[in-house]
Amino acid sequence: MLAVVTKSLRPVTRETSAIVRDKGARPVIVTVIGGVLELRAKGLRSTETLDLAWCYMAAVKQRLQVQKAERAKGRRRR
């Protein structure tokens, strides 16, 4: 079954359940604009901007590192 996915033509902003400590505990606000993520702590104006392609590649690299460590751990036990 295929999921229907729409393209992000307009900015979409959501409040997440993630909490950061930036001048107190605050939820993270995420805005998706095309291929970019903007992150900011709720109530603050400063934003952090991330390219979605970079986020994807960082996630893949992290997964591969975890898999490599698990394989090495399995070899040590033998």
| pLDDT tens-digit series, residues 2-19 | 788 888 789 999 999 999
Tell me whether residue 43 is in a domain. yes
Distance (Å, whole) CA 63 – CA 16: 23
Tell me whether residue 31 is in a domain. yes
**Model's pTM, two decimal places?**
0.76
Given a cut of 80, whether residue 1 has pLDDT beyond it is no
Q: The domain containing residue 72 runs over which residues?
A: 12-77
Section 62-71 average pLDDT: 94
Tell me whether residue 6 is in a domain. no
Tell me whether residue 55 is in a domain. yes
Tell me whether residue 40 is in a domain. yes
CA atoms within a 13 Å half-sphere pointing along the CA-CB vector of 24:
5
Tell me whether residue 7 is in a domain. no
> How many structural domains comprise the chain?
1
